[in-house]
Chain A
Amino acid sequence: MKRSARYIIPSSQITPENAYLTRRSFIKSAGLAMAAPGLALGAAGEAAAAKARAVEDPTLYSEIISYNNYYEFSQEKTAVAALSHDLVTDPWSVSVEGLVKKPRKYDIDDLKKSFGAEQRIYRMRCVEGWSMVIPWDGFELGRLITEVDPLPEAKYVKFTTLLDPKQMPGQRKSYFAWPYVEGLRLDEAMNSLTLLATGIYGKELLPQNGAPVRLVVPWKYGFKGIKSIVKIELVAKQPVSLWMNTSSAEYGFYANVNPNVDHPRWSQRTERRIGDLRRVRTLMYNGYEKEVAGMYKGMDLVRNF
Chain B
Amino acid sequence: MNFREYKIGSRFFALALGGSMTITLLMPSFDINHVNATEVAMDKQLWAGAESGFNLDDPFLLGWHKPLKVLLKADPKTGQPMEPTYAYVYEKGTTLPGGILHPDNLGGIAKQLSLEKGRIKEADKNVGAVFLVKADEQKRYYIENATATMGWTPEAVEKTAGDANTLHAAAGKTLFVREGCWWCHTLLPEQTQDWQVFGAPPMLGDFNGESPTAFGSDRKAPDLLHVGSRNASKEWMMLHFFNPRLVQPHSIMPRFDYLWGPVDANGKKIDFPKWRAEYNEYREGKRVTPPEVPMYARNSEIRNLIDFVLTLK
A binds B: no
User: Which A residues have a C-beta under 8 Å from some C-beta of B?
Assistant: none
